[in-house]
Structure 1
Amino acid sequence: MNRGSRPGKVDSLAGFRPQRGREEEPEVPAGLLREARRSGQLNLTGRGLKLVPPDVYRLDVDAPPESRHDVSFGASDRWWERSELTKLLLSSNQITRLDDDIRLLPALLTLDLHDNQLDSLPAALGELQQLRQLRLSQNHLSLAPVQLSSLVNLQTLTLQKNRLESLPEELAKLTRLTHLDVSYNLLGALPSSLGGLESLLDLNVSQNRLSRLPPGMDRLLLLRSLDISENLLEELPDLSALTQLETLHLRRNKLRLLPRLLPPNLKELYLGNNQLDSEGVEPLSGHAHLSVLELRANRLTSVPAGVSALHTLTRLDLANNDISTLPPAIGLLPDLKVLLLEGNPLRRLRRDILTKGTEELLKYLRGRIELDSPGEPAEPSGLRLPSDEPLNPEGIRTLKLLEFRKASCVPEHVFTAAAGRNITTVNFSKNQLTCVPERLLEFSSSLIDINLSFNRLTCSEVLCSFLQLTHLDLRSNQLSVLPPDMKNLNKLSCINLQFNRFRTFPEVLYLLDSLETVVLGNNQVQVLDPAGLLKLVKLNSLDLSNNDLDRVPPELGLCTGLRSLVLDGNPFRTPRAATLAKGTESVLEFLRSRIPDNKTC
């Protein structure tokens, strides 16, 4: 027998030797358990756990080891008798399973399991009758178990960023639920019983596959905020019964028409990236409390009637539409602080006015009201051609504007009518053009603004010859590449390419250091070259929304000249939605913090 293994001999190194199976049993530091018994709260966020430690489940059941020692404790030291566990935070781990032993924590009020790898939930979860907050976002759940309906005291339930395809009808039993978030899932429909959530204040069902809303939504009489963004809605039910609703998000759906009646006390309405035209938004008239109205990236050809009567508006977003004129009455809105108009073919409004900001623009519009005579005819005088030839000779003569629409090609007489004129602006939007008209080259020395949006263009080589060009609108075409010779457009400051077929950020744009605004939303862009973007020293606005970016390069944070960076609607995991919501500056700061110390761009 070895001398070191004599019976009764204490092995002084035993505590340093690895023990079989120890690595499979996650442990919690004794100090944390001690504090949890005292405070009733246990925070195990971000500890790399794959399972919930057994000691956690039995925290309210087993006496602590110290209680078995032959030691006298005063009342103030008997910490294991203090509090039942009411708050358990297990977020940002790698937990794959929640055991039935969760029922051993019946006093829990808050259970946070977001950002884990759960693909199912135990039936025993339904026994936590005191639970008020349950956070299960960013897991792998494909099914919301019926047992959730047993949590009758639940007030907050977050299930966003899972794989849910449906919700149980029994969810309506959660009559005390005030906040429900099931965004970023695969829901094709909502349960018909949803209207039974009579206490609901905040409902988020954005980023799903909803083509309609269930009947009974009008029973959510306490609802204050409703987010249905980024779904497949083509129409809305009557929501006028929701008298407490103040915020309604409907961005990125397929809406062509608003219901005749909207919630009467709306303060914020977001309708960007739909298919609304000016007639489709007529119900906006008469909303006395509306403060924020977003209508960007729709099909508006004019400012909707009634907008100038919304006297409580503080923010009006009409960007990226097809609005050519701005009614002077907008200048009379008393509280308007932000008016966004970029991406519209505005005529009779100098670009220097637009660049001076909202306050100066409103002042200019008020001045127009004073200058206009009450008896002045609505239509400018001058020769009018037949309606089947939509050409405006007066615009050619006075505005240096060549405009023609609603045709499959631009007839020769249009160019002949403008011959010899120093045309500065061309608007051939909303035609069916498949290529850029060659005769535009007749105005190559004077053109500074070209609008070819809403056509069927597949190539754009002709545009490389317009060396004076500053603004180019090519949205809603069929373009997948830009010609290399476009690098010669060294005065181009704004280009709009949204709703095309680009799979990569056009390489030639990295060579145009005059660019200030690039709109590339609603394409299929998958990768970015941050080094190329850093060369664009004047770039202050970059829209990459609704593309296929699965990664945002951290070096993009070095583009500190950006004042507007739009990344919504891409499949990347970071930055998260909460970071994006804080605005461009916060996003850039976050990205810079992710750059490795030894890496430069």
Structure 2
Amino acid sequence: MGGNLSSELKSSKYKKREIVDLRKMNIDKLPPTVGALQCKELLLSENDLITIPEEIGKLSKVEIIDFSKNRINYIPPEIGSLSTLKQLFLSNNKLFYTPLTPNLGSLKSLTRLDLSANQLDDLPVELSKLEALEYLDISDNQLQSFPLEFGKLYNLQVFNCSKNSLKSLPGEISGWVKLQELNVSNNQLTFLPNQICLLGLLSTLNVGFNKLQQVPEELSSMVSLTDLDLKVNPPLQYVPQLSNLRQLKKLSIRNLQITHLPLGLGLLSELIELDIRDNPQLKEIPYDIATLINLQKLDLFGNNMRIVPREIGNLINLQHLDLRQNKLTIDNIPSEIGKLVNLKKLLLSNNLLVALPPEISSMKALKEFEASNNQLQSVPAEIGELTGLTKINLSGNKLTSIPPSFGNLSELVICDLKSNEIAELPNTLNGLKACTKFDLSHNMLTELPWEFGDLTGLTILDVGHNPLTIPPNPIVMKGTETIIQWLKKNEKEGRKGKVSGLGIQGGDN
């Protein structure tokens, strides 16, 4: 629409607008008349632009330009003339094709620059002259380094260089004295410079998904940190003490090689989320975890744990507890777990449980419960007291039945009982009116309760690999809707007799 756009940009429709919004209009070429606009915001994201005309440099009042999600491979040097420009968005283009113009460094008013997702392998050193810059996103490129001169970006508050190929961070980052957020995750870093600990205002540090072999002991001096992410650094065997990080709210030390948790963890009273999953050498959790009374999410997946400490009952604000993929037995889950009355998600799958702790009946706030792939032989009747449950997964156990109280779970949406030894179902399951997905495959069922005909909200009922006669196999093969309709239609006669093939044979009342 190049020709039409050229004339439109000349017209009063756009010429005097403060915001010119041309997003998602399939524009493949920007006409030179763009230079006549008097706008403060020029929005051209999600088009098919390949180049930007040099007349872009004539936008004397523009403060925000958004060229993201195009196919732009060239930025004209005239862009450096935009003395009023404060925010420039160039993400998701093809800027690797030609070197970025050094004139970008002339944008003295620029506070926000986004160059992410452009396959860039080099950046002009002149970007270090952007003395007003507060936000710089160069993530999702192919950078192995960035100019040391970037340390002169003294006003930088947010720096995102994730998803690149950085092998190290220069000590010059100590110049970022105003930095609050640093994301260098998903790189090839093997160490962090000690100078990183001089960033006294840093609140968020994400160095996850690297190859860190060590982190500075001085990490404990970064007292402004509220979010520390060290996850998935497999070579890392030691995390220094964190006792001084009293403002920390989120901590992830997932998938490391640590044999014990960092000292002082119990002093982090503001902690809300703690992710310790996939540390198989850890094996136990220290008792001082009991002091983390503000904790809402605790992930202990895959730690070869054999014991849950009784002190876990003190975590009264906990909402999410993941204990999957450990070596827990019913004897080593303390009754104190019943004190977690605010818990919304409890995950116990892939352990050695032969029974469920009856104390779960006190977890009235529970929405999601999972205990698949254990050795459960029965489900306690108390399960029916968890009337707020929306999802339950008890697949891969040795269950032969489920209690009638199961029908009290009136808010249950997803129920997974596959791969058990269930031979009979209670006639109370018509109480599961909210259920949309029910998996009973790979069991020993010969009959479905006639009450299943009342579950008209079911969209998926999987009863495959059962020796069913009610309903007969040809009906089962036709799927959920046919099964429900058949049960409803044949209920009256079916209760009087028995099914043989497709027919109902009369019997005594």
Q: TM-score range by the shorter chain?
A: 0.5 to 0.7
Equivalent pair of 2:9/2:34 in contact (CA under 8 Å): no
Q: Kindly indicate whether residue 2 of structure 2 is the aligned counterpart of residue 27 of structure 1.
A: no
Question: What is residue 261 of structure 2 aligned with on the other side?
Answer: 303
- Measured on the aligned residues, the alpha-carbon RMSD in Å equals 3.8
Question: What is residue 92 of structure 1 aligned with on the other side?
Answer: 46
Equivalent pair of 1:130/1:153 in contact (CA under 8 Å): yes
Counterpart-to-counterpart distance in 2, 1:127 and 1:35: 25
Q: Kindly indicate whether residue 177 of structure 2 is the aligned counterpart of residue 221 of structure 1.
A: yes
Question: What is residue 204 of structure 1 aligned with on the other side?
Answer: 160
Counterpart-to-counterpart distance in 2, 1:28 and 1:426: 64
Cα distance, 1:170 vs structure 2: 1.5
**How does 1:224-239 map onto structure 2 within 5 Å?**
224-238=180-194, 239=196
Offset from partner CA, 1:333-369 (integer Å, 9 cap, x none):
2322222212222112299x99x9953879x9xxxxx
Secondary structure of 1:36's counterpart equals helix
Cα distance, 1:39 vs structure 2: 3.1
Equivalent pair of 2:296/2:317 in contact (CA under 8 Å): no
Counterpart-to-counterpart distance in 1, 2:398 and 2:93: 45
Counterpart-to-counterpart distance in 1, 2:438 and 2:154: 53
Cα distance, 1:32 vs structure 2: 9.6
Q: Kindly indicate whether residue 163 of structure 2 is the aligned counterpart of residue 176 of structure 1.
A: no
For 2:233, the aligned partner's letter is: N
Percent identity over the alignment is 30
Q: Kindly indicate whether residue 123 of structure 2 is the aligned counterpart of residue 123 of structure 1.
A: no
- Matching residue within 283, 304, 310 for 1:324: 283
- Matching residue within 292, 296, 304 for 1:333: 292
Q: Kindly indicate whether residue 249 of structure 2 is the aligned counterpart of residue 291 of structure 1.
A: yes
Counterpart-to-counterpart distance in 2, 1:187 and 1:268: 25
User: Structure 1's 492 and 211: CA in aligned 2 closer, same or farther, altered over 3 A?
Assistant: farther
Question: What is residue 248 of structure 1 aligned with on the other side?
Answer: 205
Cα distance, 1:224 vs structure 2: 0.5
Counterpart-to-counterpart distance in 2, 1:182 and 1:32: 35
Secondary structure of 1:302's counterpart equals coil
- TM-score, normalising length from structure 2? 0.61
Equivalent pair of 1:291/1:313 in contact (CA under 8 Å): yes
User: Structure 1's 170 and 273: CA in aligned 2 closer, same or farther, altered over 3 A?
Assistant: same
Residue segments in structure 1 that go unaligned for 5+ positions in a row: 1-22, 60-83, 365-394, 400-424, 428-445, 450-466, 471-488, 494-510, 516-533, 539-557, 560-601
Counterpart-to-counterpart distance in 1, 2:438 and 2:275: 26
Counterpart-to-counterpart distance in 2, 1:88 and 1:321: 49
Equivalent pair of 1:100/1:125 in contact (CA under 8 Å): yes
Counterpart-to-counterpart distance in 1, 2:153 and 2:19: 29
Question: What is residue 461 of structure 1 aligned with on the other side?
Answer: none
For 1:270, the aligned partner's letter is: D
For 2:239, the aligned partner's letter is: V
Question: What is residue 58 of structure 1 aligned with on the other side?
Answer: 36
Secondary structure of 2:78's counterpart equals helix
Counterpart-to-counterpart distance in 2, 1:152 and 1:492: 69
User: Structure 1's 102 and 211: CA in aligned 2 closer, same or farther, altered over 3 A?
Assistant: same
**How does 1:325-404 map onto structure 2 within 5 Å?**
325-349=284-308, 359=316
**How does 1:366-445 map onto structure 2 within 5 Å?**
none
Secondary structure of 1:261's counterpart equals helix
Counterpart-to-counterpart distance in 2, 1:31 and 1:257: 56
For 2:116, the aligned partner's letter is: Q
Question: What is residue 486 of structure 1 aligned with on the other side?
Answer: none
Counterpart-to-counterpart distance in 2, 1:166 and 1:346: 46
- Matching residue within 18, 40, 44 for 1:40: 18
Question: What is residue 185 of structure 1 aligned with on the other side?
Answer: 141
Secondary structure of 1:293's counterpart equals strand
Q: Kindly indicate whether residue 257 of structure 2 is the aligned counterpart of residue 257 of structure 1.
A: no
Counterpart-to-counterpart distance in 2, 1:196 and 1:360: 44
Question: What is residue 479 of structure 2 aligned with on the other side?
Answer: none
- Matching residue within 229, 235, 239 for 1:281: 239
User: Structure 1's 331 and 138: CA in aligned 2 closer, same or farther, altered over 3 A?
Assistant: same
For 2:283, the aligned partner's letter is: S
Counterpart-to-counterpart distance in 2, 1:220 and 1:171: 15
For 2:260, the aligned partner's letter is: S
User: Structure 1's 56 and 202: CA in aligned 2 closer, same or farther, altered over 3 A?
Assistant: same
- Matching residue within 151, 161, 165 for 1:195: 151
- TM-score, normalising length from structure 1? 0.52
Question: What is residue 496 of structure 2 aligned with on the other side?
Answer: none
Equivalent pair of 2:417/2:439 in contact (CA under 8 Å): no
Cα distance, 1:134 vs structure 2: 0.6
**What is the aligned length?**
348
Offset from partner CA, 1:433-468 (integer Å, 9 cap, x none):
xxxxxxxxxxxxx8979xxxxxxxxxxxxxxxxx96
Equivalent pair of 1:492/1:512 in contact (CA under 8 Å): no
Question: What is residue 105 of structure 2 aligned with on the other side?
Answer: 149
Counterpart-to-counterpart distance in 1, 2:9 and 2:212: 56
Counterpart-to-counterpart distance in 2, 1:218 and 1:271: 20
For 2:125, the aligned partner's letter is: E
User: Structure 1's 361 and 347: CA in aligned 2 closer, same or farther, altered over 3 A?
Assistant: farther
User: Structure 1's 97 and 514: CA in aligned 2 closer, same or farther, altered over 3 A?
Assistant: farther
Q: Kindly indicate whether residue 64 of structure 2 is the aligned counterpart of residue 110 of structure 1.
A: yes
Equivalent pair of 1:112/1:134 in contact (CA under 8 Å): yes
Q: Kindly indicate whether residue 447 of structure 2 is the aligned counterpart of residue 490 of structure 1.
A: no
User: Structure 1's 243 and 42: CA in aligned 2 closer, same or farther, altered over 3 A?
Assistant: same
For 1:118, the aligned partner's letter is: I
Counterpart-to-counterpart distance in 2, 1:537 and 1:253: 39
Question: What is residue 379 of structure 1 aligned with on the other side?
Answer: none
Counterpart-to-counterpart distance in 2, 1:448 and 1:108: 68
- Matching residue within 248, 253, 269 for 2:228: 269
For 1:167, the aligned partner's letter is: L
Equivalent pair of 1:513/1:535 in contact (CA under 8 Å): no
Offset from partner CA, 1:400-445 (integer Å, 9 cap, x none):
xxxxxxxxxxxxxxxxxxxxxxxxx999xxxxxxxxxxxxxxxxxx
Question: What is residue 137 of structure 1 aligned with on the other side?
Answer: 91
Counterpart-to-counterpart distance in 1, 2:315 and 2:154: 42
User: Structure 1's 215 and 302: CA in aligned 2 closer, same or farther, altered over 3 A?
Assistant: closer
Secondary structure of 2:5's counterpart equals coil
User: Structure 1's 191 and 512: CA in aligned 2 closer, same or farther, altered over 3 A?
Assistant: farther
Residue segments in structure 2 that go unaligned for 5+ positions in a row: 322-327, 333-348, 356-372, 377-394, 400-415, 421-435, 441-458, 461-509
Cα distance, 1:120 vs structure 2: 1.4
Q: Kindly indicate whether residue 114 of structure 2 is the aligned counterpart of residue 158 of structure 1.
A: yes
Cα distance, 1:280 vs structure 2: 1.5
Counterpart-to-counterpart distance in 1, 2:24 and 2:264: 52
User: Structure 1's 469 and 120: CA in aligned 2 closer, same or farther, altered over 3 A?
Assistant: farther
Q: Which moved more, 1:293-302 or 1:231-240?
A: 293-302
Q: Kindly indicate whether residue 101 of structure 2 is the aligned counterpart of residue 101 of structure 1.
A: no
Cα distance, 1:291 vs structure 2: 1.5
Secondary structure of 1:282's counterpart equals coil
For 2:192, the aligned partner's letter is: L
Counterpart-to-counterpart distance in 1, 2:438 and 2:224: 44
Cα distance, 1:272 vs structure 2: 1.1
Counterpart-to-counterpart distance in 2, 1:320 and 1:309: 23
Counterpart-to-counterpart distance in 2, 1:234 and 1:257: 7
